[in-house]
Amino acid sequence: MTAKGPRSVIVLMLAATAFTACGRARPVEPIQGILDAFRAHSIVALGEGQHGNEQSHAFRLALIRDPSFPSVVNDIVVEFGSARYQEVMDRFVSGAEVPYPELAPAWRDVAQNGALTDLPIYEEFFRAVRDVNAVLPKERHLRVLLGDPPIRWEEVATPDALQPWIRQRDAHAAALIKREVLSKNRRALVIYGDGHFARHMEWGGIPTLAGLLTKATAGSVFSIWTNTTVELQQIQSSVASWRVPSLALVKGTALGTISFTAYSGLKSTRLMQDQYDAVLYLGPPSTITFAKISRALCGDADYMSMRLSRLALSPPPPSGLATDVDRFRDECADRLRR
C-alpha cells in the first residue's frame, strides 16, 4: 500500500465530511494505551504497518521492554515465524543455547516465499524477547507463539503445492490463539500485517484473523491499525502536532467515521471504526524507513539458492515488470556493491 495517488484524493474528499460530523481523535501515550486495552480484552492485535518498516519495529521493542509488559501479557503471537519450529523458539526465548542453523528457519521458513522475514529486524525481535525473559522469573517468561502454518518446504516444488499453505494462514493462527491463549485464560499481543486485523474483510472468501476471532469470541480482540501510508493530518489537522509515536481511539472521531477505503485503498462500505479500535501514529508516511536484507545473506550461496528457488514459485508479473527473482537478485547485487 502507499499513501500516494488515488488514495490521497479519497482521503481529501472524505475528510471534510468526517470533520463536520465527529469529534477529534485524542492521542495518548501508546505503550500505556496498549497495556490499558488488556484490561478489557484478551487479545491486542497490533498491525505492523508496511512490512519491514523500522519505526513499528522500534515501537514493538520499546513495548515488550517496558517493565509493566510481562505483568500484563503472557504471549506474543507473530506472523513472522513458522509453527514448525515452535519447540525451537520456546527453548531459545527461555534462554537455552540454540545453534544458529537450527534457529534461523523459525523465521526464514514461513509459508510466504519472499525474503521479508529474512530482514534483520525480525531476528532482532526474537532476541529482544529472549533478553527480556533473561531478567524475569520463569513463571513470568513471555512465550512467543509462531503463527504461520508449519509448511514443509522440502515438499513444495510448485505454485499449486504452495497455495494450500497460503490459504490456511489466518485460520491456522486463529486456531492457535484459541487453543494456546483464549482457552487458557491468557493474554496475547498479536503482531501481523494490518490487513489481518480488519474485522469485516475477506481475502479470497476467507475471513481475516480478527474476523475469525471476533466470530468465535466477541469482544476479545482490540485491533490497532499501524499507520505508515495515510496522511492522517489530511483527515484531522491536529495530527500534525501529535507526538511520535501516539495511539488514538477512533470510534466517533474524524479518524474513525471515514471509509476504510481511505486507509486501505480497498473498496469497502465499512467505516474505519467498524474495522479497528485504534490507530498507532508513527509520523508522516514520508518519515517511514525500511530495513534492508544483510550483505552477509546476499553473499551466502546456499541462502541465495534457497531464496531464489522459492521466489520462482511466485505468479508471473504483468508484462514489462521484473519477476520476484530478478528484483531480489538485483537488490542483493546492490547490497553487495555497497
Q: Are 115 and 307 in contact (CB under 8 A)?
A: yes
Residue 208 exposed, middle or buried by CB count within 10 Å (0-12, 13-18, 19+): buried
pTM of the complete model: 0.92
Distance separating alpha carbons of residues 37 and 34, to the nearest angstrom: 5
- pLDDT of 125-135, one tens digit each? 999 999 999 99
Extents of the domains making up the chain: 6-289, 292-338
Identify the CATH class of 6-289. alpha beta
Distance separating alpha carbons of residues 26 and 295, to the nearest angstrom: 42
Listed as ranges, residues in the chain with pLDDT below 70 are 1-22
Cα 295 to Cα 78, 114, 259, 298, 336: the distances in Å are: 25, 17, 42, 5, 6
- pLDDT of 127-176, one tens digit each? 999 999 999 999 999 999 999 999 999 999 999 999 999 999 999 999 99
What pLDDT was estimated at residue 22?
Answer: 66
Which of 122-141 are b and which e, b meaning 16 or more Cβ less than 10 Å from the residue's Cβ?
A: bbebbebbbebbeeeeeeeb
What pLDDT was estimated at residue 9?
Answer: 36
What pLDDT was estimated at residue 215?
Answer: 86
Q: Are 55 and 287 in contact (CB under 8 A)?
A: yes
